[in-house]
A = this chain, B = another copy of it.
Amino acid sequence: MRSKTLRSKAAFEAGANRLVTALPQRSRKRFLARCERVELRFAAVLGVEGEPMQHVYFPIDSVISLVTTLADGARLEVGIIGNEGMLGMSILLGVNVAPQRAIVQGGGSALRMNAAVFRRYCERDSDLRKVMNRYVHVLMEQLAQTAACTLYHRVESRLARWLLMTRQRVGNDRFNLTHEFLAYMLGVRRAGVTHAAGSLQGQGLIDYRRGAITVLDPRGLQRASCACYVRGNAIYARTLRLARTARP
């Protein structure tokens, strides 16, 4: 067994938030000094559309969903945030009001920083701005893609994509989700999810029982999903690689 210190270090390197990791060492140190580590509980609401934000979050092994709300009350998940991203980019953009509802979709830990502090950091530290700005760009591409994907792609493909994205972010083949919740995220009926999930299960790609889903065959699932999954990853990689101003 490794010592506790070694484990923590490994955890930092493997599991830390990738945006934070992308900061040059000096920026990162100062930055981390003003963060606190918090545990996010499943279904917690970290932001409500139209209300001011108190904190920004950098997930480590938690997953946050961005859910937009229309004037008629209809809702749809439009973005997923894991350790590759952050919640609260609006602060960076000079707006302290949350644009979407942010709910914890997968419990776990995250780094949290006071919104006002984060804003000041952004104004002063151009390295930080560089990284965060690029992430904003990625998020915009994700939003645009979601719009088209939602229109053109069938529920089964979208579900497959969604499961892959979640799997990637929780870093585990198994996670807890009900069909009801998935229906909410995808903007379809619960019965529609049951049908699509049944099909994926029939193909031996996933397995689920009472709120717990296991991805059995990620490759196969990728084939069943729309290409939007691969594309999203490609955009992220392409856009943020260049922002890596220092090695971790």
A residues in contact (CB < 8 Å) with B: 66, 68-72, 74-76, 78-79, 90, 92-95, 97, 99-100, 123, 126, 130, 133-134, 136-137, 139-141, 143-152, 187, 226-228, 230-231, 238-239, 243
Given contacts A90-B137, A140-B139, A144-B143, is CB(A76)–CB(B151) below 8 Å? yes
Q: Is the CB of A93 within 8 A of B144?
A: no
* CB neighbours of A100 from chain B (8 A): 144
Q: Is the CB of B99 within 8 A of A130?
A: no
> Cα distance A90–B94 when bound, in Å?
16
* CB neighbours of A228 from chain B (8 A): 70-71
Copies in the complex: 2
Q: From residue A121, how far is it (CB to closest CB) to chain B in Å?
A: 14
Given contacts A95-B134, A99-B137, is CB(A151)–CB(B150) below 8 Å? yes
A135 closest partner in B (C-beta): B93
> Cα distance A145–B78 when bound, in Å?
9
Q: From residue A4, how far is it (CB to closest CB) to chain B in Å?
A: 38
| With A71-B226, A90-B137, A93-B133 already in contact, 15 other A-B pairs whose C-beta atoms are closer than 8 Å | A70-B148, A70-B149, A70-B152, A70-B228, A71-B230, A75-B148, A76-B147, A76-B152, A78-B148, A90-B140, A94-B130, A94-B137, A99-B137, A136-B136, A150-B150
Q: Is the CB of A144 within 8 A of B99?
A: yes
Other-chain contact of A144, B78, B151, B187 (Cβ < 8 Å): B78
> Cα distance A92–B123 when bound, in Å?
14
Max chain B Cβ within 10 angstroms of own Cβ: one of A97, A133, A227, A238: A133
Given contacts A134-B94, A140-B99, is CB(A71)–CB(B227) below 8 Å? yes
* CB neighbours of A146 from chain B (8 A): 147
5 A-B contacts (beta carbon < 8 Å): A68-B145, A71-B227, A94-B134, A94-B137, A95-B137
* CB neighbours of A66 from chain B (8 A): 144
* CB neighbours of A243 from chain B (8 A): 94
Q: Is the CB of A137 within 8 A of B70?
A: no
* CB neighbours of A71 from chain B (8 A): 226-228, 230-231
